[in-house]
Each structure stands twice: as structure tokens, then as C-alpha cells.
Chains A and B, each alone.
Chain A
Amino acid sequence: MALSNTTIDQVRASVASGTTTATAFAEEHYARIAAEDGPSGDGLTGKGINSFLALSRERALAQAAKIDAQAAKGEALGPLAGVPIGIKDVLTMTGSPATAGSQILKGYMPPYDATAVTRLEAAGAVLLGKLNCDEFAMGSSNENSSYGVVRNPRALDRVPGGSSGGSAAAVAAGFSVATLGTDTGGSIRQPAAFCGVVGVLPTYGRVSRYGLIAFASSLDRVGPFTTNVRDAATMLSVLAGQDALDATSSDRPVGDYVGALAKPVKGLRIGVPAEYFGEGLDPEIRAAIERALDGLRADGCEIKPIALPHTKYAIPTYYVVATAEASANLSRFDGVRFGLRADEAKTLSAMYRETRDQGFGPEVKRRILLGTYALSAGYYDAYYRKAQQVRTLLTRDFLTAFASVDAIVAPVTPTPAFKLGEKTDDPVQMYLEDICTVAASLAGICGMSVPCGETAAGLPIGVQVMGRHFDEETMLRVALAIESGQQ
């Protein structure tokens, strides 16, 4: 079977029927990674995509053998039986290092599995390895990884987006049928749009964060990348659900995400927020989204203009809240219990400072400093409390909008994937990359990126579908209708 266009259902069916084996699938994907993920030039024949940081061959092949034995005996197979899946390197998985893209965790072998990892494997997934990302998931281009940049498989001179750049690139390159990413301010949706794949931000509390190396705990979420909407629904049905190990995971019943896809979208009310279609929006992206909206209209949806009046404050709010939480979360990296320790230090406090100076990259330091400043005496009310109040206003915007619409459609990014190195000199410019994604992050609603065409230059375009809290079903239905309209 050709690797490109391989869907979860195809893998599962061909493993179940004995057409092929989970082991063969895993080996085929490893062969492709070996051929293309590595560097190019100097006699090397890779494409320099650099999506995988570590391969977990032993664990993957043991799981594949187990699935193949089950299939041979005709036993019932899980929904992800034999499906090769890669894991963003901010999630823990025993047997593989967990670096979070940082030198401070170089070589760290975690003693437990993230809940998302456990759930995927229990459903039959074959976990191929760990994927490159911006250091501690801080970045919008994957250029902040301390293990090298990731290239966009659709345009090798461009960024894959971030921070889950490796996760998006691995799916786009056919290295993995699906991957896990994390999204704090756009880190699943934006790289999905840049690489032309599907990426889902589940509602806050829908998927356990246990085993996720924390960046900003009130914003961090785990979600899937896939090549198509149906696969995303399958992945979400495996990942979703309460977890005793994450107190913020919700006990709400998990929906039937795959079943929901059979329901037509006729009669759904789709909100279009004018604030997301401002001056900076690339005209080709605007046109592609308008075509997607025309398609939804033709399917019987009612398209309604809505207002999300506080949208322009989402970026400043996010960069206070996220950095404040990061400054607290990252204080655990001190050279005592895991990861790097500066050898030379004579005293404990010098050891903390030198370890952190050597281990953290510039963007991480920048955010720790900003967050520490915003929380420090005399500035707490002016920055942190103010941002938390504006977060309330941003969330109210969505709650008001969702009283009159069932889903919201907007751009994911104002521009298609930019060139490597284009924005690295100006942190504020890089932060503005998140302009269409951070509001949903702050409000805790679900959102996703679905491919909706490409630019004249052949760069992928994504459209964002946002849904009510815990209404992933409606979001996925709208996304499927948009995807179907592309064919």
C-alpha cells in the first residue's frame, strides 16, 4: 500500500484482513523516515526535514508484533490497530528520551508514560518515536528547537510552523499516519495549516495533560494531527476522557465523534467574525475561506456575521498569561532531579543559575523573564490580573457568539508558511503569528485547522473551525463538509 493517502481505517482494515501486517507498516514508515528525514547534501540523500528526534523501534516493533498476533488469531482489534503514530517530544514515553526540544532535558529518560500515549497504545497504535518541536513548545516556526529546525515538507525552504512543527511535518511527509501535538496558543492549528494537514485543538479538559511537560497549564492541550477529518475524529475518540491523574480533565461524557460525521450539516448556523478578516490577511487565504463558506452555504448552512469585539487584545493577554504560567512551571528545571546540571557550581544557588543559563535557549529565557516581571511585586495587578480580566472578556465574546451560531469559521494564519529565518530577529513579529489562534486558546473552546486549497505558489492554506466547549462533534461535522467540498 502506498504510504501517502494511507488512512487510519485503511491501515486497520488491511492489518485485520491480513493483507499486510502492522510490522510491515512500521518498517515501511521507518524506511521512509531513514530515506527522507535526515540531512541532504555532502552525499546525503535526505530532505533535511528533521521531524524525528528519536525513534522507538524496540517499543514499536514489540507492539506491532502483538497486534499481528491478535490479527492472526482473529481477535478484536482496537480502533488504531497497527497505525504508525509519532509523539511530540513534550510528552513522556518510557524507553525514549523526552527533551521538550531543550538542552536542559537532553538525555532525560522519563519514568512514566503520558496518559495520551497510554491511550493510543491501548487502542493498538504503533508508536514510532518522538517529534521535534520548539523548545518547551515556545515558538511559531519550530526555529526555537535546540535540536535543529524542521523543514516544511511542502516547501523545504519554509517553516513548518510551531511549536508542533515536527508533528505536522511528519504527517505531511508520510512518515507517520497520525501524530500527537500540543497547542497552547496555536501550536497544533498553525503548523497544520502551514503543512496542509488536519490538526485538532480539543476543548480544555477533554484530553488529559498527564505526562505533558507543562508550558502554561491553563492553556496547554494535547491533540492529534492527521491527513483527514475522519482520522482526526478517530484519534479524538481514543484520546478523550477523564483521567484521575489530571485534575483539570473533565468528567463530561465523551461524544461519538466518528458517528457524528454521518450527520449532514444542513441547518447549522456558521458564524464569521469580521475581526479575523482584517487588513493583514493574505488575499489568497481570504479567497480560499470564502470558497469554503460558499460550499457550506450550498450544503444548507446559514452563514452569519458575528462580532468577537475583544479579538485584538488576545495576543497581549496571551503573552502575559502564558509567560506568567511558564515562569512558574519552568522553575522545576534546576539541575536537581532530572536533566542537565552545571558541573562547576560550588553552591546550590549558583548551580540553579548556571544550569538554567546553559540549558535554556533565548526564547525560553525571554518568556521566563517576561512572566517573572509580570508576576513580580508592584506589577502583578497591572499585568497579570489585568490580563486575567481581559481573558474573561474574550471568553464572554465566544459564549455570546455561540448563543446564536453552532460553529465559527475563520482563518488559522494571516499568511501561508514563511521562509526559514524570515522572522527570527523580531519576537513581537513572531508573536503576531498567533493572531488568529490565541483567542480560542484563552477561551478554552475547541478548534481545528482543515486544509482548504493552496496558494498560486503551491503553499497549503488552512481554515479554522471553532466549536463550543465540549462540542467537538459539530466542529468535526463542519470540518468534514469543508474537506468534502475540496474534492
Chain B
Amino acid sequence: MKQFAAFTKKEILEQLRTGRLLILIIIFCLFGIMNPAIAKMTPWMMEMMSEQLAESGMAITTVDVDALTSWVQFFKNMPMALIVFLILFSGIFTTEYQKGTLINVVTKGLKRWKIFVSKESVMMIIWTLGCLTCYGITFGYNAYFWDNSVVHNVFFSAVCFYLFGLWLISVLGLASVFCNSAGSVMLALGAAFGASYLLGLFPAVKEYVPSYLLQAPNLLTGNVDVGDYLWSVLILLALIVMQSIFSVVVFNKKNL
């Protein structure tokens, strides 16, 4: 435990001192504010453009915005935050391989699984806090401007996206065990997402792949049942556990 705590302390210090944490706080807060802001500004923007649109023959009626508009915006913006998050952390393992900094701690007797679990936990905790921040800010503004109760299953939908993020973080860990550069880790992440997306095109399996959770915002209107996403959530959780175990096994024999 002492070893794990010491290494995790270093990981957190790294995120603080390299400014990575600051960038992520800014991004999550910014997106949190942008969601209701964009929704709030939509009628005003429409009005600005209505004259031009009228000239081209389009008639603009009054646009109604409510909490749903803001939440839809939330689910549009979060993938962007996830991409930035993954890019920022793509080198969390590979930079250490390239510099050889892990050699010192491993030769001090630090168990390799502790390195892996520490890094993955730090990423997952920051992702969790980031999602909570963004969700909290959007939720707060929405409650102030409109009424959150018109939107259905918003928390569950957000959890689905959050879990999808956790899955990609675990893919990042797995890819980092095999790859030696941040670029190849990003490629592997792209490939994992692509594979999940392509599998999702087959009706027989589409409800079981992780990327199915990206369609969870369909729940917001209340027309879809939450139970439809249950299998996908369970499979995703199982995948995270299996990927992490497999990563540790491979990491134990990796040339550092």
C-alpha cells in the first residue's frame, strides 16, 4: 500500500505540475457552461439570421428552447471533451517507456501491477470528476433557466456516456502495454472505437457493443426504455475488468 500510495502521489503531482489537470478543469467547466449558454443563445442567433433566411425564402417561427435543448448540447459536447482527455493522457505510459523513468522505480521493487493500476485509477478518477463537474454545471444552469423535469433519464444517459469513457480509458491502458508511442496508442483507440462502431451496424449484436451507449441520449425524450441499454452496460463493465487483468499480465513481462 505504501508503494502504491507513493507512486499515485507522483501521478497526481505530475497532472498538477504539468498543467494537464488545469487544462481539463477548464475544458470541463467551459463545456458545462457552454451547453446552457448555446441553448440560451439559440433564439437570439435565429433572430439575427432570420432576415437573411427570409430573403432566401425560409420563414423562421419562434424557437422554443428548454432544458432538453441544453442537455442535447451536453451530449454533443461531451465526446469532444473525451477526445481531448484521451489525447492528453495518450502518453501516460509511453512517455515513461521512452524516457526510461519506470526503470528506476521498478528496480526499487515497485510491483508492476501497482504502476498500471495507479495510472489507470488516476485517469478514471479525473474522468469521473470531470464528468461530474460538467454535468453539475449544466444541471445547475438548466435548473435555473428552465426545468430539468421535462427531460427523462438524463442521469442514466450521462452515466452511459461516462461508462463509455471509462471503457476507452481501459482501452488506452491496454494499448499502452503493447505500444511504445502516444501516436500508436491513439491509433489503437481509434481502431477500438471503429471496431465497436462497425459491430454496432449488425442488428444481431448492436445492443451489446460499448458504442451503443452513445445512443443513450435517445432516452431523454422518454420514448425508449432504459432496459434496452442494460446488456451493453454489463458487457462494457466486464470488458473493462478483463482488459485491465489482461493488461497487467502483459505489463508484467514488458521490456521497459
A and B from one complex: no
Q: A-side interface residues toward B, CB under 8 Å?
A: none
Q: B-side interface residues toward A, CB under 8 Å?
A: none
